[in-house]
């Protein structure tokens, strides 16, 4: 697995990381974070269960982010 960024950031002064790369798809990114906020802020699942499953998924997929 690569340990260095695979793309240049959208602006030369940005740090090349996951967050800056999402700047390439601004409309989609904004829509995603609106969705994500709704998921986390409301619903019938308790926040700690959501967080537990999120962390478990990160371990399973080996996602350090």
Partner 1 sequence: MNNRAATVSETSPQTALLEPLFAARPELWTRFQTFYDSLWTAGQISRRVLEICRLRMAAIHGCDPEWRLRTPDVFLTDAEVGALRTGNFAEFDHYERAALELTEKFPFQHHAITDAEVKAVEDGYGSAAAVALLTAVAFFDVSCRWQQVLTPSAST
Six-digit token string for 43: 């619903």
- Residue 28 binding partner 1, by CB under 8 A: yes
Burial of 9 (0-12, 13-18, 19+ CB in 10 A): middle
Euclidean distance between CA atoms 9 and 17, whole angstroms: 7
Minimum CB separation of residue 44 from partner 1 in Å reads: 8
Q: Closer to partner 1 at the Cβ: 31 or 55?
A: 31
Among 14, 32, 47, 53, binds partner 1 (CB under 8 A): 32
Q: Closer to partner 1 at the Cβ: 42 or 59?
A: 42
Quick one: CA dihedral 25, 28, 34, 38, positive or negative?
Answer: negative
Q: What letter does residue 62 receive in the DSSP assignment?
A: T
Interacting residues with partner 1 (CB under 8 A): 1-2, 4, 6-8, 10, 21-22, 24-25, 27-28, 31-32, 34-35, 38-39, 42-44, 61-62
């Amino acid at each position: 697995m690569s340990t260095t960024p695979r793309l240049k950031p959208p602006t030369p002064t940005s740090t090349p990381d996951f967050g800056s790369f999402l700047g390439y798809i601004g409309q989609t990114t904004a829509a995603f974070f609106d969705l994500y906020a709704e998921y986390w802020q409301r619903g019938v699942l308790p926040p700690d269960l959501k967080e537990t499953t999120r962390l478990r998924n990160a371990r399973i997929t080996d996602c350090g982010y």
